[in-house]
């Protein structure tokens, strides 16, 4: 009984939300020239939630043009580029070592493995925590990006110099 009641309440709420969205969409498009995001058909005066040209389901949402990507992209570049470098080094090293039939000295492999182990999780962390970084003040955002980038490039430089010294 409780489950059924909950289900009904939930469906009523969903129907209410859906009709709100449809009403908002209709009012928004009543006097605006807006292209369909799929086929570019002009949706002015649309009276349903589907594009009459291509049939795509349409929705109305809140967006922002102020995504504050600069600091985040700086940080992402600083951890993503070394990850790509160490990833390619791992792949190339494995191909070379397997074709030769013996492994290179550990002094060459350890910095490459440490590079992947550090920059892989760091890249995932930067991607997953992007909203937290975007929400902070510009000063904090850029301080985090600058310090993070400095540490990343120093670590990458040290690991590359150890690897080239061992090669």
List contacts with Zn ion (CB under 5 A).
36, 38-39, 41, 51, 53-54, 56
Query: Which residue, 40 or 140, has its beta carbon nearer to Zn ion?
Result: 40
**Cα(15)–Cα(6) distance, integer angstroms:** 14
**Cα(146)–Cα(78) distance, integer angstroms:** 10
Name the minimum Å distance from CB 34 to Zn ion: 11
Structure tokens at 105: 């000295």
**Cα(47)–Cα(38) distance, integer angstroms:** 18
**Cα(143)–Cα(71) distance, integer angstroms:** 9
Query: Which residue, 36 or 133, has its beta carbon nearer to Zn ion?
Result: 36
Residue 57, φ and ψ in degrees, nearest 5:
-75, 135
Query: Which residue, 22 or 94, has its beta carbon nearer to Zn ion?
Result: 22
Of 22, 163, 13, 12, the closest CA to residue 82 belongs to 163
Name the minimum Å distance from CB 14 to Zn ion: 25
Query: Which residue, 14 or 53, has its beta carbon nearer to Zn ion?
Result: 53
Name the minimum Å distance from CB 19 to Zn ion: 22
Is 75 in contact with 126 (CB distance < 8 Å)? Answer: yes
Query: Which residue, 51 or 133, has its beta carbon nearer to Zn ion?
Result: 51
SS3 151: helix
Name the minimum Å distance from CB 65 to Zn ion: 23
Name the minimum Å distance from CB 118 to Zn ion: 46
């Amino acid at each position: 009984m409780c489950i059924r009641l909950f289900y009904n309440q939930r469906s009523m709420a969903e129907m209410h939300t859906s009709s709100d969205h449809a009403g908002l969409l209709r009012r928004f498009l009543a006097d605006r020239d807006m292209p369909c995001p799929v086929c570019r058909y002009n949706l002015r005066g649309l009276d349903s939630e589907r594009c009459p040209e291509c049939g795509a389901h349409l929705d109305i949402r809140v967006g922002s043009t102020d995504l504050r990507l600069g600091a985040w992209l700086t940080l992402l570049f600083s951890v993503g580029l070394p990850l790509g470098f160490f990833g390619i080094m791992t792949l190339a090293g494995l191909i070379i070592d397997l074709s030769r039939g013996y492994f290179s000295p550990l002094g060459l492999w350890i910095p490459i493995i440490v590079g992947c182990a550090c920059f892989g999780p760091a890249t995932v962390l930067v991607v997953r925590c992007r909203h937290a970084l975007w929400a902070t003040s510009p000063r904090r955002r850029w301080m985090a990006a600058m310090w993070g980038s400095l540490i990343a490039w120093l670590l990458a430089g040290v690991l590359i110099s150890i690897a080239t010294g061992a090669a």
